[in-house]
Amino acid sequence: MDKNAKTLFITLGGALLLIWMLRNKTSSVNTKELLDVKYAEPKKVSDTESKLKENAVIGLKAMREALNNNENKKELDKLRSMVLQDYGINIMMNKKTGLLRAMSKEGKVIKEETRD
């Protein structure tokens, strides 16, 4: 081996030794913590949120049934106001797709109809 090859190997060895000495010592702990989070229990939905979604489904079904029965606009508005008053859910129709959307009083979309 010539002098340049020896210098190259010594330099690479020194660099690897320096990297090994300066590495982050807590990386193994972080990996263990990540595995614990990965296999943790799934998050649970609060009772109020699940109740709100149930009410949204009820409102959507009622409005869809009324639309399928060809109820007039006055009856649909009356049903919409009853659902809003009783459940706090506003039922709107998407003008592009014709599908219903249940929204909270704040305007957050809770549930939407899908095409079957």
pLDDT at 78: 93
Q: Are 108 and 115 in contact (CB under 8 A)?
A: no
Residue 20 pLDDT grade (very low, low, confident, very high; cuts 50, 70, 90): confident
Structure tokens, 106: 């704040």
CA–CA gap between residue 89 and residue 101 (Å, rounded): 10
Handedness of CA 65, 70, 76, 78 (dihedral sign): negative
Kindly indicate the confidence band of residue 25, based on its pLDDT and cuts at 50, 70 and 90. low
Helix axes of 47-68 and 73-87: crossing angle, nearest 10 degrees: 170
- Determine the pLDDT at residue 100: 92
pLDDT digits (tens, 9 = 90+) for 33-92: 766 666 667 777 778 888 889 999 999 999 999 999 999 999 999 999 999 999 899 999
Is pLDDT above 70 for 30?
no
HSE of 27 in the Cβ direction (CA atoms, 13 Å)? Answer: 5
Q: Give the model's pLDDT for residue 102.
A: 93
**What's the pLDDT at 28?**
53
Q: Residue 70 in contact with residue 49, Cβ under 8 Å? A: no
Query: What is the rounded CA–CA span in Å between residue 25 and residue 40?
Result: 25
Q: How many CB atoms lie within 10 A of CB 92?
A: 15
Summary mean pLDDT of the chain: 85
